[in-house]
Amino acid sequence: MGISEDYEKTAIMFVDVEGSTKLYEKNGDQKAQQIIERCLNIASETIKEAGGTIIKYIGDEVMCRFDDEDAAVEAACNIQELLEQCTGAETLPSVRIGLHHGMAIEKEGDVFGDAVNVAARVTAIAKGKQIITTHDTVLNLSPKHILMIREFDKTPIKGKEEELTIYEVLWQPENATRMHTAIHDNKDGAALLLTMYYNGNEYNIKANEPGFRIGRDENCDLSVNSGYSSRVHAHIEYRRGKFVLVDESTNGTYVNMGKKQDIYLRREEVPLVGIGMIGLGESADINSKHVIRYVCL
């Protein structure tokens, strides 16, 4: 049987009300159901406003899908903020949110497949007031939202050989600011692995490996066939516990580490930290087909 035409990549998100069993025990069936419905109504309206599609309600959780990962993260953050603002007599229970970008089948208004299974798994890991997502989701986020991400854990997934790297979305502004400072000021540990993504391929660079060359030449370790890239545009060295990008080009290299402005290098170098993007001779724009994404662990 062939693959359905509706089998495509999408972002799946679950919003699950935490502690519903205790809620029923404390308030009785009718009152508890009203509280849960109010929670899910707030979540649903926020999802719709952000451009998401409600798929279904499963007990005390709502499942939805997004075409845009940034919109999904925005919706998740807004849901947490709105529920936290409900205080006093209107206090509502916390929710846990899981999000994954992957392959899914949409049929008769429902969605099935790997993206659904993984999203459900990361939702189960999350605690109340947490938003948990995956590596595949992070790779599709804009710099603005990458700034809100921190690596959280690794977890086994049924049917997959390798453990899944998961991330937390720091939706509270003070947490995101603190995390960003820690990424750039951390001097305690050495980076052990740099992973780069380009044109559907993954490149893993380990500590103390020989220099990794990037450029237009097909003999480079990562070949980028762009009119702005030099034959050997840049290379990556491992020095003193850091992966350092060294520009060798005519047009320069642009690096974005989650800030509003790119870092521009011309015959200069910069250590790569956290999660970011690299542009050879052009802005490190997530919409460019030649942008290189990287994750430094």
* 146 SS3 class: helix
SS (H, E, C) 243-268: EEEEECCCCCEEEECCCCCCEEECCC
> How do residues 56-94 score in pLDDT, each as one tens digit?
999 899 999 999 999 999 999 999 999 988 755 556 889
Please return the burial class of 264, using the count of CB atoms within 10 Å of its CB with bins 0-12, 13-18 and 19+: middle
| Higher-scoring residue by pLDDT: 200, 15 | 15
**Cα–Cα separations (whole angstroms), residue 134 to 62, 118, 149, 270:** 19, 9, 10, 27
Q: Which two tokens stand for residue 262?
A: 């790119």
Q: Is the pLDDT of residue 12 over 60?
A: yes
Q: Are 192 and 297 in contact (CB under 8 A)?
A: yes
Q: Which two tokens stand for residue 52?
A: 């998401």
Which pLDDT score, from 0 to 100, does residue 187 have? 46
Q: Of the ranges 21-25, 120-124, 131-135, 233-237, which one carries the lowest mean pLDDT score?
A: 21-25
Q: Of the ranges 182-186, 246-250, 277-281, 283-287, which one carries the lowest mean pLDDT score?
A: 182-186
Q: Is the pLDDT of residue 1 over 60?
A: no
Q: Which two tokens stand for residue 216?
A: 């237009």
Architecture of domain 193-296: Sandwich (2.60)
What is the distance, to the nearest Å, from the Cα of residue 12 to the centroid of all Cα atoms in its chain?
Answer: 12
Q: Phi-psi bin for 90: left (phi > 0), alpha (psi -120 to 50), beta?
A: alpha
Domain ranges of the chain: 7-184, 193-296
CATH of 7-184, one of 3.30.70.1230, 2.40.37.10, 3.30.413.10, 2.60.120.1440: 3.30.70.1230
* 53 SS3 class: strand
Q: Are 183 and 176 in contact (CB under 8 A)?
A: no
Rounded distance, CA 35 to CA 33, Å?
5
Rounded distance, CA 104 to CA 245, Å?
36
